[in-house]
Amino acid sequence: MNTSWLIARHEFLSRVRTKGFIISTLLAPVGLLVVLTLPILVSELAQTQGTHRIAVVDQSPHGLAPILLAKDSSLFFVATEPTSTLRARVLADSLTGYLLIPPDGLERDSVVLFTRGGGGLGLQEAVNDAVREVFRRQRLLARGADTTLLRLAEQKTKIERIKITRERTERDQTALLTIVGYGMSIIVYMLLFIYGGIVMRSVLEEKTNRIVEILASSARPFDIMLGKVLGVGAVGLFQMLLWIVLGVGVSIAVGSTLVSLSGAPTPAGALAHYRAQENDVAVLLLQVPSLSFGHIAAFVFFFLSGYVFYSALFAGIAAAADTEQDIQTLQAPVSIFIVLPMLVIPLVMSTPDAPVAAILSLVPMFSPVLMLMRLFATEVPWWQVLLSVVLMVASIIGAVWIAGRIYRIGILRYGQRPTFRQILRWIAEG
């Protein structure tokens, strides 16, 4: 145990001091931010149809063209040329298309859009939304509806969600927490691969450079493996701590900038905004989630336990391998269990209380991702949480024991890659 501690400390210090660690600590949040915001940015950009222009040819007597123009002047303009000219302009690409409203268009509720095809779903949706809204209003107005009535009809009903607990009633944050939980699960999933990979590569490096023989002349193989797993795990925790500090620092800086820009305190402004657009996911993400201690503890526990479980197995695999290719082959049966929860996570997100979600989340290989997801998305019965923790701890002990046996034999074996049957025999015979 004493030597495990020495080895863990060496692993930690020699990794934290490298340029690679500093760079990855600084760049990873940027990368994550890009991954998270890119889809939103892209769809925002897609909505501004800056380059698309559609001429409106209004043959109806209702004067619909100006109303459409008022709706979206960047997209629509009133045609002054005959359709034959418009047609030529479309073919010459100086115009995206033209919208023909027939004389009885409003009565028959139909228009025709002429384009060269393509343009994507964004363009179609923009035209659809504008035309349908304008037509609906005009139909209702034609039947004598007044504008006050129209506004009433279009008003969205606000559904305030209140969570009832034995102690008190509070605002229900289910939607927000589910999204945060999803983010946390994805982070755990990625970290399992990243840090598991670090353990695997470093075990292989020590084996191929024969360093492990020196280590084994000073410590038990099991202690060497444990020290490595714990040391790299400490690097992971340390990196996360830095990210949190970095994140809090950046959000304080950004927050104060926002306050000075808007001239209003951010939380109130954000809340007003939130009320206005109840169902907008992007807005939810901008909210600062009020996470409980339990949520943070769950994240730390499931990250750490998943990490120890998988990285111990990865260490065993690397010890059995001779080359990177060997690792690719041997790791597949382990990696698959990290990936599988990702396939069912949408199910767990939408129905976290369903029996199938509960059962899957209790399977130790899946718990780090799925139980974590459920803990954010719903109130998990206490006995399930307890059971999950017990199963997780038991599986960690099992995984470390199995990995230790593979490691002990594997590190001094060179030459042919062992078969899975041979590895099973190593485990059985020790």
Q: Which residues bind other proteins (CB under 8 A)?
A: 3, 6-7, 10, 14, 209-220, 412
Per DSSP, the chain holds a count of helices (H) and strands (E) of 18, 6
CB atoms within 10 A of CB 96: 22
Phi, psi of 52 (to 5 degrees): -85, 130
Question: Considering the complex, what minimum distance in angstroms separates the CB of residue 210 from other proteins?
Answer: 4
Q: Are 150 and 133 in contact (CB under 8 A)?
A: no
Residue with Cβ nearer other proteins (209 or 251): 209
Phi, psi of 339 (to 5 degrees): -80, -40
Question: Considering the complex, what minimum distance in angstroms separates the CB of residue 197 from other proteins?
Answer: 18
Residue with Cβ nearer other proteins (157 or 217): 217
Q: Considering only CA atoms, which of 26, 10, 36, 52 is closest in space to residue 281?
A: 36
Residue with Cβ nearer other proteins (181 or 221): 221
Q: Which amino acid is at 253?
A: A
CB atoms within 10 A of CB 402: 17
Question: Considering the complex, what minimum distance in angstroms separates the CB of residue 406 from other proteins?
Answer: 16
Question: Considering the complex, what minimum distance in angstroms separates the CB of residue 327 from other proteins?
Answer: 19
Residue with Cβ nearer other proteins (10 or 163): 10
| Cα end-to-end span (Å), the chain | 20
Residue with Cβ nearer other proteins (6 or 145): 6
Region for residue 52 given its phi and psi (left: phi exceeds 0; alpha: psi -120 to 50; beta: otherwise): beta
Please work out, in degrees rounded to the nearest 5, the angle formed at the alpha carbon of residue 226 by the alpha carbons of 222 and 230: 175
Residue with Cβ nearer other proteins (53 or 413): 413
Question: Considering the complex, what minimum distance in angstroms separates the CB of residue 429 from other proteins?
Answer: 10
What is the C-alpha separation between 390 and 67, in angstroms, rounded? Answer: 65
The structure tokens listed for 205 are 């490096």
Question: Considering the complex, what minimum distance in angstroms separates the CB of residue 22 from other proteins?
Answer: 16
Residue with Cβ nearer other proteins (214 or 354): 214
Question: Considering the complex, what minimum distance in angstroms separates the CB of residue 234 from other proteins?
Answer: 16
Residue with Cβ nearer other proteins (30 or 428): 428
Torsion of CA 211, 214, 218, 221, to 10 degrees: 50
Distances 328 to 200, 318, 408 between C-alpha atoms, Å: 11, 10, 20
Region for residue 69 given its phi and psi (left: phi exceeds 0; alpha: psi -120 to 50; beta: otherwise): alpha
Question: Considering the complex, what minimum distance in angstroms separates the CB of residue 6 from other proteins?
Answer: 6
Q: Are 214 and 411 in contact (CB under 8 A)?
A: no
